[in-house]
Structure 1
Amino acid sequence: MSATVRITAVSAVAAAVLSALATAPSAAAATHPALRLTPMGSHRLVGPDGSRISHSTSSNWAGYAATGTQFTSVSASWTQPSVTCTSATSYSSFWIGLDGDGSNSVEQTGTEADCSGGHAQYYSWYEMYPAYPVNYSNSVSPGDHFTSTVSTNGSGSFTLTLTNTTKGWTKTTKKTLRNASLASAEIIAEAPSSSSGVLPLAHFSTASFTSASANGQPIGNYGPDKINMASGSTTKATTSALSGGSSFSVTWIHS
Protein backbone atom coordinates (compact mmCIF):
# COMPACT_ATOMS: atom_id res chain seq x y z
CA MET A 1 0.00 0.00 0.00
CA SER A 2 1.36 3.41 -0.92
CA ALA A 3 1.90 5.87 1.90
CA THR A 4 0.74 9.47 1.37
CA VAL A 5 2.97 12.03 3.07
CA ARG A 6 3.19 15.78 3.44
CA ILE A 7 5.11 18.49 5.23
CA THR A 8 3.44 19.80 8.37
CA ALA A 9 6.16 21.63 10.28
CA VAL A 10 6.04 25.43 10.16
CA SER A 11 6.43 27.94 12.98
CA ALA A 12 4.00 30.59 14.12
CA VAL A 13 6.42 33.22 12.84
CA ALA A 14 6.45 31.68 9.39
CA ALA A 15 2.66 31.41 9.46
CA ALA A 16 2.41 35.11 10.27
CA VAL A 17 4.71 36.00 7.37
CA LEU A 18 2.64 33.83 5.04
CA SER A 19 -0.56 35.51 6.21
CA ALA A 20 0.91 38.95 5.56
CA LEU A 21 2.12 37.96 2.12
CA ALA A 22 -1.27 36.53 1.22
CA THR A 23 -2.79 40.01 1.53
CA ALA A 24 0.04 41.82 -0.28
CA PRO A 25 -0.12 42.69 -3.99
CA SER A 26 1.50 40.05 -6.20
CA ALA A 27 3.81 42.67 -7.70
CA ALA A 28 5.41 43.18 -4.28
CA ALA A 29 6.47 39.53 -4.16
CA ALA A 30 7.98 39.81 -7.62
CA THR A 31 9.89 42.98 -6.67
CA HIS A 32 11.17 41.63 -3.34
CA PRO A 33 12.28 38.00 -3.81
CA ALA A 34 13.25 37.69 -0.15
CA LEU A 35 9.56 38.00 0.74
CA ARG A 36 8.49 34.98 -1.28
CA LEU A 37 6.12 32.55 0.33
CA THR A 38 8.58 29.72 -0.10
CA PRO A 39 10.57 28.01 1.07
CA MET A 40 9.10 29.08 4.46
CA GLY A 41 8.10 25.61 5.65
CA SER A 42 10.51 22.77 6.14
CA HIS A 43 11.34 20.46 3.22
CA ARG A 44 11.12 17.54 5.67
CA LEU A 45 8.99 14.61 4.59
CA VAL A 46 6.78 13.30 7.39
CA GLY A 47 4.30 10.42 7.09
CA PRO A 48 1.01 10.23 8.98
CA ASP A 49 2.62 8.03 11.66
CA GLY A 50 6.02 9.72 11.52
CA SER A 51 7.64 6.80 9.69
CA ARG A 52 9.64 6.80 6.48
CA ILE A 53 7.88 6.31 3.20
CA SER A 54 8.18 2.73 2.02
CA HIS A 55 6.47 2.89 -1.35
CA SER A 56 6.20 5.31 -4.20
CA THR A 57 3.63 8.01 -3.39
CA SER A 58 4.12 11.40 -1.74
CA SER A 59 1.93 14.46 -1.73
CA ASN A 60 4.92 16.78 -2.17
CA TRP A 61 8.04 14.83 -3.28
CA ALA A 62 9.05 13.19 -6.58
CA GLY A 63 12.45 11.62 -7.13
CA TYR A 64 14.59 9.12 -5.24
CA ALA A 65 15.22 8.58 -1.52
CA ALA A 66 17.72 6.05 -0.19
CA THR A 67 17.50 4.67 3.36
CA GLY A 68 18.78 1.67 5.29
CA THR A 69 22.26 2.83 6.29
CA GLN A 70 24.05 5.94 7.53
CA PHE A 71 24.54 8.55 4.81
CA THR A 72 27.33 11.12 5.03
CA SER A 73 27.18 12.57 1.51
CA VAL A 74 24.82 13.07 -1.41
CA SER A 75 25.55 14.68 -4.78
CA ALA A 76 23.79 15.36 -8.08
CA SER A 77 23.64 17.67 -11.08
CA TRP A 78 20.56 19.14 -12.74
CA THR A 79 19.46 21.74 -15.26
CA GLN A 80 17.21 24.44 -13.83
CA PRO A 81 13.72 23.92 -15.29
CA SER A 82 11.67 26.81 -16.59
CA VAL A 83 8.09 27.29 -15.43
CA THR A 84 4.97 28.14 -17.42
CA CYS A 85 3.01 30.71 -15.43
CA THR A 86 -0.63 31.70 -15.38
CA SER A 87 -2.24 34.20 -13.02
CA ALA A 88 -2.21 31.51 -10.31
CA THR A 89 0.59 31.46 -7.75
CA SER A 90 2.55 28.19 -7.76
CA TYR A 91 5.86 26.74 -6.61
CA SER A 92 8.51 24.11 -7.34
CA SER A 93 11.83 23.14 -5.75
CA PHE A 94 14.73 21.00 -7.01
CA TRP A 95 17.28 19.84 -4.49
CA ILE A 96 19.55 17.25 -2.92
CA GLY A 97 19.84 16.50 0.77
CA LEU A 98 20.45 14.27 3.73
CA ASP A 99 17.60 13.36 6.09
CA GLY A 100 14.01 14.59 5.95
CA ASP A 101 12.46 11.23 5.05
CA GLY A 102 10.76 10.48 8.37
CA SER A 103 13.55 12.08 10.43
CA ASN A 104 13.62 15.25 12.51
CA SER A 105 16.62 16.84 10.79
CA VAL A 106 17.16 18.26 7.31
CA GLU A 107 20.38 19.24 5.52
CA GLN A 108 19.55 20.34 1.97
CA THR A 109 20.35 22.79 -0.80
CA GLY A 110 18.77 23.47 -4.18
CA THR A 111 16.91 25.81 -6.51
CA GLU A 112 13.39 27.14 -6.91
CA ALA A 113 11.09 27.99 -9.80
CA ASP A 114 7.91 29.81 -8.72
CA CYS A 115 5.09 31.75 -10.33
CA SER A 116 3.75 34.96 -8.78
CA GLY A 117 1.43 37.46 -10.47
CA GLY A 118 1.93 35.68 -13.78
CA HIS A 119 5.72 36.04 -13.58
CA ALA A 120 8.38 33.38 -13.11
CA GLN A 121 10.82 33.70 -10.20
CA TYR A 122 14.05 31.70 -9.94
CA TYR A 123 16.43 31.49 -6.98
CA SER A 124 18.45 29.11 -4.80
CA TRP A 125 18.58 28.23 -1.11
CA TYR A 126 19.82 25.91 1.65
CA GLU A 127 18.10 24.52 4.74
CA MET A 128 19.37 23.10 8.03
CA TYR A 129 16.13 22.24 9.82
CA PRO A 130 14.96 23.24 12.43
CA ALA A 131 16.44 26.58 11.32
CA TYR A 132 14.55 28.41 8.57
CA PRO A 133 15.61 27.97 4.94
CA VAL A 134 17.99 30.69 3.70
CA ASN A 135 17.79 32.12 0.16
CA TYR A 136 20.98 32.89 -1.75
CA SER A 137 21.10 36.18 -3.66
CA ASN A 138 22.97 34.82 -6.71
CA SER A 139 21.20 34.94 -10.06
CA VAL A 140 19.39 31.82 -11.31
CA SER A 141 17.92 31.42 -14.81
CA PRO A 142 16.14 28.56 -16.55
CA GLY A 143 18.62 26.36 -18.36
CA ASP A 144 21.41 26.98 -15.83
CA HIS A 145 23.38 23.84 -15.00
CA PHE A 146 23.87 23.07 -11.30
CA THR A 147 26.07 20.65 -9.40
CA SER A 148 25.67 20.14 -5.69
CA THR A 149 27.00 18.17 -2.74
CA VAL A 150 25.86 17.92 0.87
CA SER A 151 28.38 16.18 3.13
CA THR A 152 29.19 15.70 6.80
CA ASN A 153 32.07 14.35 8.87
CA GLY A 154 29.53 12.35 10.86
CA SER A 155 30.18 14.41 13.99
CA GLY A 156 27.88 17.34 13.33
CA SER A 157 29.84 19.42 10.79
CA PHE A 158 28.15 19.88 7.41
CA THR A 159 29.24 21.42 4.11
CA LEU A 160 26.55 22.34 1.59
CA THR A 161 27.87 23.30 -1.84
CA LEU A 162 25.79 24.57 -4.76
CA THR A 163 27.50 25.54 -8.02
CA ASN A 164 25.93 27.25 -11.03
CA THR A 165 28.39 26.12 -13.71
CA THR A 166 26.60 28.21 -16.34
CA LYS A 167 26.95 31.52 -14.50
CA GLY A 168 30.17 30.57 -12.73
CA TRP A 169 29.19 31.04 -9.09
CA THR A 170 29.48 28.69 -6.11
CA LYS A 171 27.94 28.94 -2.65
CA THR A 172 29.60 26.89 0.07
CA THR A 173 27.84 26.90 3.43
CA LYS A 174 29.31 25.29 6.54
CA LYS A 175 26.95 24.52 9.41
CA THR A 176 26.86 22.45 12.60
CA LEU A 177 23.98 20.17 13.55
CA ARG A 178 24.81 17.73 16.33
CA ASN A 179 21.61 15.64 16.29
CA ALA A 180 21.36 14.90 12.57
CA SER A 181 19.92 11.45 11.89
CA LEU A 182 21.90 10.80 8.66
CA ALA A 183 19.20 8.24 7.88
CA SER A 184 18.41 9.10 4.26
CA ALA A 185 19.80 10.66 1.07
CA GLU A 186 17.49 12.26 -1.51
CA ILE A 187 17.42 13.89 -4.94
CA ILE A 188 13.98 15.51 -5.23
CA ALA A 189 11.58 17.74 -7.19
CA GLU A 190 9.09 19.17 -4.71
CA ALA A 191 5.86 21.08 -4.28
CA PRO A 192 6.81 23.24 -1.25
CA SER A 193 4.46 23.65 1.71
CA SER A 194 3.09 26.31 4.01
CA SER A 195 1.26 26.10 7.33
CA SER A 196 -1.93 25.25 5.41
CA GLY A 197 -0.40 22.29 3.56
CA VAL A 198 1.15 21.53 0.19
CA LEU A 199 1.16 24.50 -2.19
CA PRO A 200 0.15 24.36 -5.90
CA LEU A 201 2.91 22.83 -8.00
CA ALA A 202 4.36 25.11 -10.69
CA HIS A 203 4.30 23.79 -14.26
CA PHE A 204 8.00 23.00 -14.64
CA SER A 205 7.77 20.48 -17.51
CA THR A 206 10.74 18.13 -16.86
CA ALA A 207 13.56 18.19 -14.32
CA SER A 208 16.55 16.06 -15.30
CA PHE A 209 19.05 14.86 -12.67
CA THR A 210 22.42 13.23 -13.41
CA SER A 211 25.41 11.96 -11.40
CA ALA A 212 23.10 11.15 -8.48
CA SER A 213 25.22 9.56 -5.78
CA ALA A 214 25.21 8.79 -2.05
CA ASN A 215 28.29 8.00 0.04
CA GLY A 216 30.31 8.28 -3.18
CA GLN A 217 28.38 5.54 -5.00
CA PRO A 218 25.56 5.72 -7.57
CA ILE A 219 22.36 6.13 -5.59
CA GLY A 220 20.95 3.09 -7.39
CA ASN A 221 23.38 0.91 -5.40
CA TYR A 222 21.21 1.50 -2.33
CA GLY A 223 17.92 0.33 -3.86
CA PRO A 224 16.34 3.77 -3.35
CA ASP A 225 12.60 4.36 -3.27
CA LYS A 226 11.27 5.83 -6.54
CA ILE A 227 8.69 8.44 -5.52
CA ASN A 228 5.84 9.84 -7.60
CA MET A 229 3.98 12.94 -6.43
CA ALA A 230 0.21 12.51 -6.05
CA SER A 231 -2.67 13.99 -4.12
CA GLY A 232 -5.59 11.60 -3.81
CA SER A 233 -6.33 10.31 -7.30
CA THR A 234 -4.44 13.20 -8.96
CA THR A 235 -0.89 12.48 -10.11
CA LYS A 236 1.15 15.69 -9.99
CA ALA A 237 4.60 14.48 -11.13
CA THR A 238 6.14 11.17 -12.14
CA THR A 239 9.68 9.87 -11.71
CA SER A 240 11.48 7.84 -14.38
CA ALA A 241 13.50 4.70 -13.80
CA LEU A 242 17.17 5.16 -12.96
CA SER A 243 19.57 5.04 -15.90
CA GLY A 244 23.00 3.70 -15.03
CA GLY A 245 22.02 3.89 -11.37
CA SER A 246 22.49 7.65 -11.27
CA SER A 247 20.34 9.53 -13.82
CA PHE A 248 16.59 10.13 -13.94
CA SER A 249 13.93 12.71 -14.71
CA VAL A 250 10.82 14.03 -13.00
CA THR A 251 7.95 15.09 -15.27
CA TRP A 252 5.23 17.55 -14.29
CA ILE A 253 1.69 16.24 -14.79
CA HIS A 254 -0.69 18.47 -12.83
CA SER A 255 -0.62 21.39 -10.37
Structure 2
Amino acid sequence: MSGDAGEGTTDSTDPEWEAVFWDIGGVILALDSVQGAHAEFVADLCERHGVDATVEEAVDTWRTAVGKYFRERDGTEFRSARDGYHRGVETVVGEEIPREEWQPRFDEIVRSSIDPVPGAVETIERLADRDLHVGVISDVDDAEGREILERFGVRECFDSITTSEAVGRTKPDPAMFEAALETAGVDPERSLMIGDRYEHDVKGAAEAGLHGVAFGADDGSAVSFRIDSPEEVLEIVDGDVPRSPDSGT
Protein backbone atom coordinates (compact mmCIF):
# COMPACT_ATOMS: atom_id res chain seq x y z
CA MET A 1 0.00 0.00 0.00
CA SER A 2 1.10 3.58 -0.60
CA GLY A 3 1.95 4.26 3.01
CA ASP A 4 4.89 1.92 2.70
CA ALA A 5 6.52 4.48 0.43
CA GLY A 6 7.25 6.62 3.49
CA GLU A 7 9.55 5.91 6.41
CA GLY A 8 7.49 2.88 7.43
CA THR A 9 6.21 4.42 10.65
CA THR A 10 2.70 5.51 11.50
CA ASP A 11 1.98 9.22 11.17
CA SER A 12 1.06 10.23 14.72
CA THR A 13 -1.06 13.08 13.37
CA ASP A 14 -3.52 10.69 11.74
CA PRO A 15 -6.96 11.06 13.35
CA GLU A 16 -8.94 8.42 15.17
CA TRP A 17 -11.21 7.33 12.36
CA GLU A 18 -14.96 7.75 12.70
CA ALA A 19 -16.19 6.46 9.34
CA VAL A 20 -15.22 4.28 6.39
CA PHE A 21 -17.13 4.82 3.14
CA TRP A 22 -17.01 2.37 0.24
CA ASP A 23 -17.65 2.69 -3.47
CA ILE A 24 -19.43 -0.41 -4.86
CA GLY A 25 -18.24 -1.08 -8.41
CA GLY A 26 -14.61 -2.14 -8.49
CA VAL A 27 -14.27 -2.02 -4.71
CA ILE A 28 -17.01 -4.32 -3.37
CA LEU A 29 -18.30 -5.64 -6.70
CA ALA A 30 -15.81 -7.29 -9.07
CA LEU A 31 -16.25 -5.49 -12.39
CA ASP A 32 -15.11 -8.43 -14.49
CA SER A 33 -18.02 -10.45 -13.13
CA VAL A 34 -20.41 -7.66 -14.16
CA GLN A 35 -18.97 -7.62 -17.65
CA GLY A 36 -19.36 -11.39 -17.83
CA ALA A 37 -22.97 -11.19 -16.67
CA HIS A 38 -23.79 -8.56 -19.28
CA ALA A 39 -22.16 -10.63 -22.02
CA GLU A 40 -24.17 -13.67 -20.96
CA PHE A 41 -27.37 -11.61 -21.01
CA VAL A 42 -26.65 -10.23 -24.47
CA ALA A 43 -25.97 -13.75 -25.79
CA ASP A 44 -29.29 -14.88 -24.33
CA LEU A 45 -31.01 -11.82 -25.83
CA CYS A 46 -29.64 -12.64 -29.27
CA GLU A 47 -30.85 -16.22 -29.06
CA ARG A 48 -34.32 -15.25 -27.89
CA HIS A 49 -34.83 -12.63 -30.58
CA GLY A 50 -32.90 -14.19 -33.45
CA VAL A 51 -30.39 -11.35 -33.73
CA ASP A 52 -28.28 -11.72 -36.87
CA ALA A 53 -24.89 -10.98 -35.31
CA THR A 54 -22.17 -12.81 -33.46
CA VAL A 55 -22.20 -12.59 -29.68
CA GLU A 56 -19.01 -10.53 -29.82
CA GLU A 57 -20.60 -8.05 -32.23
CA ALA A 58 -23.76 -7.84 -30.14
CA VAL A 59 -21.82 -7.27 -26.92
CA ASP A 60 -19.86 -4.49 -28.60
CA THR A 61 -23.13 -2.94 -29.80
CA TRP A 62 -24.55 -3.16 -26.28
CA ARG A 63 -21.52 -1.54 -24.65
CA THR A 64 -21.39 1.23 -27.23
CA ALA A 65 -25.08 2.07 -26.78
CA VAL A 66 -24.91 2.03 -22.98
CA GLY A 67 -21.69 4.06 -22.96
CA LYS A 68 -23.20 6.67 -25.26
CA TYR A 69 -26.23 6.93 -22.99
CA PHE A 70 -24.04 7.85 -20.01
CA ARG A 71 -21.86 10.24 -22.01
CA GLU A 72 -24.95 12.22 -22.98
CA ARG A 73 -25.64 13.26 -19.40
CA ASP A 74 -25.17 16.87 -18.34
CA GLY A 75 -22.15 17.09 -16.08
CA THR A 76 -22.71 15.09 -12.92
CA GLU A 77 -26.44 14.59 -13.33
CA PHE A 78 -27.69 11.11 -12.41
CA ARG A 79 -28.74 8.78 -15.19
CA SER A 80 -30.34 5.45 -14.38
CA ALA A 81 -28.34 2.40 -15.43
CA ARG A 82 -31.64 0.60 -16.04
CA ASP A 83 -32.53 3.16 -18.68
CA GLY A 84 -29.11 2.66 -20.24
CA TYR A 85 -29.59 -1.11 -20.34
CA HIS A 86 -33.00 -0.58 -21.93
CA ARG A 87 -31.37 1.44 -24.68
CA GLY A 88 -28.77 -1.29 -25.11
CA VAL A 89 -31.46 -3.93 -25.52
CA GLU A 90 -33.29 -1.85 -28.10
CA THR A 91 -30.08 -1.22 -30.05
CA VAL A 92 -29.03 -4.88 -30.09
CA VAL A 93 -32.46 -6.23 -31.07
CA GLY A 94 -33.29 -3.38 -33.43
CA GLU A 95 -36.70 -2.64 -31.95
CA GLU A 96 -38.38 -1.59 -28.72
CA ILE A 97 -38.62 -4.45 -26.23
CA PRO A 98 -40.84 -3.87 -23.16
CA ARG A 99 -38.92 -3.89 -19.89
CA GLU A 100 -41.11 -6.62 -18.48
CA GLU A 101 -39.83 -8.90 -21.25
CA TRP A 102 -36.08 -8.44 -20.78
CA GLN A 103 -35.55 -7.22 -17.21
CA PRO A 104 -36.48 -10.43 -15.29
CA ARG A 105 -33.96 -12.45 -17.33
CA PHE A 106 -31.36 -9.71 -16.94
CA ASP A 107 -31.82 -9.68 -13.16
CA GLU A 108 -31.66 -13.47 -12.99
CA ILE A 109 -28.36 -13.63 -14.89
CA VAL A 110 -26.77 -10.79 -12.95
CA ARG A 111 -27.75 -12.22 -9.56
CA SER A 112 -26.26 -15.60 -10.43
CA SER A 113 -23.08 -14.23 -12.02
CA ILE A 114 -21.73 -11.30 -10.01
CA ASP A 115 -18.94 -11.81 -7.49
CA PRO A 116 -17.49 -9.65 -4.74
CA VAL A 117 -13.92 -8.37 -4.82
CA PRO A 118 -11.85 -10.92 -2.86
CA GLY A 119 -11.60 -9.86 0.76
CA ALA A 120 -14.22 -7.11 0.56
CA VAL A 121 -17.04 -8.98 2.29
CA GLU A 122 -14.84 -10.17 5.15
CA THR A 123 -13.39 -6.68 5.65
CA ILE A 124 -16.82 -5.05 5.71
CA GLU A 125 -18.03 -7.58 8.26
CA ARG A 126 -15.04 -6.90 10.50
CA LEU A 127 -15.47 -3.14 10.24
CA ALA A 128 -19.14 -3.50 11.16
CA ASP A 129 -18.07 -5.01 14.49
CA ARG A 130 -16.09 -1.88 15.36
CA ASP A 131 -17.16 1.48 16.71
CA LEU A 132 -17.21 3.01 13.24
CA HIS A 133 -19.76 4.32 10.79
CA VAL A 134 -19.60 2.05 7.74
CA GLY A 135 -21.20 3.56 4.66
CA VAL A 136 -21.52 3.45 0.88
CA ILE A 137 -21.09 6.34 -1.56
CA SER A 138 -21.74 4.96 -5.03
CA ASP A 139 -22.89 6.03 -8.50
CA VAL A 140 -25.59 3.36 -8.76
CA ASP A 141 -29.33 3.07 -9.03
CA ASP A 142 -30.60 2.88 -5.47
CA ALA A 143 -32.37 -0.49 -5.73
CA GLU A 144 -29.53 -2.02 -7.72
CA GLY A 145 -26.92 -0.97 -5.17
CA ARG A 146 -28.90 -2.38 -2.28
CA GLU A 147 -29.56 -5.62 -4.17
CA ILE A 148 -25.83 -6.09 -4.76
CA LEU A 149 -25.04 -5.63 -1.08
CA GLU A 150 -27.88 -7.99 -0.17
CA ARG A 151 -26.58 -10.57 -2.65
CA PHE A 152 -23.18 -10.49 -0.96
CA GLY A 153 -24.72 -10.70 2.52
CA VAL A 154 -23.40 -7.35 3.76
CA ARG A 155 -26.43 -5.08 3.42
CA GLU A 156 -26.99 -5.01 7.18
CA CYS A 157 -23.31 -4.19 7.80
CA PHE A 158 -23.78 -0.67 6.44
CA ASP A 159 -25.04 2.18 8.58
CA SER A 160 -25.78 4.33 5.52
CA ILE A 161 -26.06 3.91 1.76
CA THR A 162 -25.74 7.05 -0.36
CA THR A 163 -26.48 6.52 -4.04
CA SER A 164 -26.45 8.83 -7.03
CA GLU A 165 -30.11 8.11 -7.65
CA ALA A 166 -31.01 9.34 -4.17
CA VAL A 167 -28.85 12.47 -4.45
CA GLY A 168 -29.49 13.16 -8.13
CA ARG A 169 -25.80 13.68 -8.89
CA THR A 170 -22.75 11.51 -9.48
CA LYS A 171 -19.25 11.70 -8.05
CA PRO A 172 -17.15 13.82 -7.92
CA ASP A 173 -20.02 16.24 -7.29
CA PRO A 174 -19.59 17.43 -3.69
CA ALA A 175 -23.30 16.84 -3.11
CA MET A 176 -22.62 13.10 -3.00
CA PHE A 177 -20.08 13.35 -0.20
CA GLU A 178 -21.98 16.07 1.66
CA ALA A 179 -25.13 13.94 1.68
CA ALA A 180 -23.22 10.94 3.02
CA LEU A 181 -21.49 12.96 5.73
CA GLU A 182 -24.73 14.61 6.80
CA THR A 183 -26.45 11.23 7.09
CA ALA A 184 -23.54 9.75 9.02
CA GLY A 185 -23.02 12.75 11.24
CA VAL A 186 -19.24 12.37 11.11
CA ASP A 187 -16.25 14.66 10.64
CA PRO A 188 -14.88 14.45 7.08
CA GLU A 189 -11.33 14.79 8.44
CA ARG A 190 -11.92 11.58 10.37
CA SER A 191 -13.45 9.72 7.45
CA LEU A 192 -12.02 7.42 4.78
CA MET A 193 -13.36 6.93 1.24
CA ILE A 194 -12.30 3.79 -0.64
CA GLY A 195 -12.53 4.04 -4.41
CA ASP A 196 -11.11 2.70 -7.66
CA ARG A 197 -11.34 5.94 -9.68
CA TYR A 198 -9.02 8.83 -8.91
CA GLU A 199 -11.04 11.82 -10.14
CA HIS A 200 -14.43 10.56 -9.00
CA ASP A 201 -13.76 8.70 -5.75
CA VAL A 202 -10.40 9.80 -4.38
CA LYS A 203 -10.02 13.41 -5.50
CA GLY A 204 -13.74 14.05 -5.13
CA ALA A 205 -13.60 12.80 -1.56
CA ALA A 206 -10.46 14.80 -0.77
CA GLU A 207 -12.06 18.00 -2.04
CA ALA A 208 -14.93 17.35 0.38
CA GLY A 209 -12.44 16.94 3.23
CA LEU A 210 -12.32 13.14 3.42
CA HIS A 211 -9.20 10.99 3.11
CA GLY A 212 -9.07 9.09 -0.17
CA VAL A 213 -8.03 5.45 -0.16
CA ALA A 214 -7.01 4.35 -3.65
CA PHE A 215 -7.79 0.75 -4.57
CA GLY A 216 -6.62 0.42 -8.16
CA ALA A 217 -7.11 4.15 -8.71
CA ASP A 218 -4.48 6.30 -10.40
CA ASP A 219 -1.83 8.07 -8.35
CA GLY A 220 -2.23 11.70 -7.41
CA SER A 221 -1.84 14.19 -4.59
CA ALA A 222 -5.35 13.42 -3.30
CA VAL A 223 -4.38 9.84 -2.36
CA SER A 224 -4.00 9.63 1.41
CA PHE A 225 -3.55 5.86 1.37
CA ARG A 226 -3.12 3.21 -1.31
CA ILE A 227 -4.20 -0.40 -0.80
CA ASP A 228 -3.72 -3.57 -2.82
CA SER A 229 -6.48 -5.53 -1.07
CA PRO A 230 -9.59 -4.56 0.92
CA GLU A 231 -8.18 -6.17 4.07
CA GLU A 232 -5.54 -3.44 4.26
CA VAL A 233 -8.27 -0.98 5.23
CA LEU A 234 -8.23 -2.62 8.66
CA GLU A 235 -4.57 -1.69 9.05
CA ILE A 236 -5.35 1.94 8.20
CA VAL A 237 -8.17 2.04 10.73
CA ASP A 238 -5.87 0.53 13.37
CA GLY A 239 -3.28 3.24 12.72
CA ASP A 240 -0.67 0.78 11.49
CA VAL A 241 -0.16 2.50 8.14
CA PRO A 242 1.43 5.93 7.55
CA ARG A 243 -0.28 8.40 5.28
CA SER A 244 1.09 8.78 1.76
CA PRO A 245 3.91 11.35 1.80
CA ASP A 246 2.50 12.88 -1.41
CA SER A 247 -0.97 13.38 0.03
CA GLY A 248 -2.26 16.91 -0.15
CA THR A 249 -4.97 16.27 2.46
Q: Say yes or no: TM over 0.5.
A: no
What TM-score do you get using the length of structure 2 for normalisation? 0.30
Higher strand share: 1
What TM-score do you get using the length of structure 1 for normalisation? 0.30
